Amino acid sequence: MKMIVIALKCIQMKPDDRPSMNEVIDMLEGDEVPQHLP
């Protein structure tokens, strides 16, 4: 589930709404699922 949420965040239409690569890495390495669905 975590990877799906991260993937949805990465394909947002507006570049400003997408996470940076550092944020993606932090989300992938963390134990928690990102809270806000895009």
The answer to whether residue 37 sits within a structural domain is: no
> The whole model's pTM is what?
0.76
Residue span of the structural domain in which 5 resides: 1-31
Q: What total number of domains does the chain contain?
A: 1
Q: How many CA atoms lie within 13 A of 18 on its CB side?
A: 10
**Residue-level pLDDT at 1:** 84
The answer to whether residue 38 sits within a structural domain is: no
Nearest to 6 by CA among 20, 21, 22, 27: 27
Q: What angle do CA 28, 17, 30 make, to 5 degrees?
A: 15
Rg (CA), the chain: 9
pLDDT by residue (tens digit) across 3-34?
999 999 999 999 999 999 999 999 999 977 67
The answer to whether residue 9 sits within a structural domain is: yes
The answer to whether residue 24 sits within a structural domain is: yes
Return the structure tokens found at 20. Answer: 């940076």
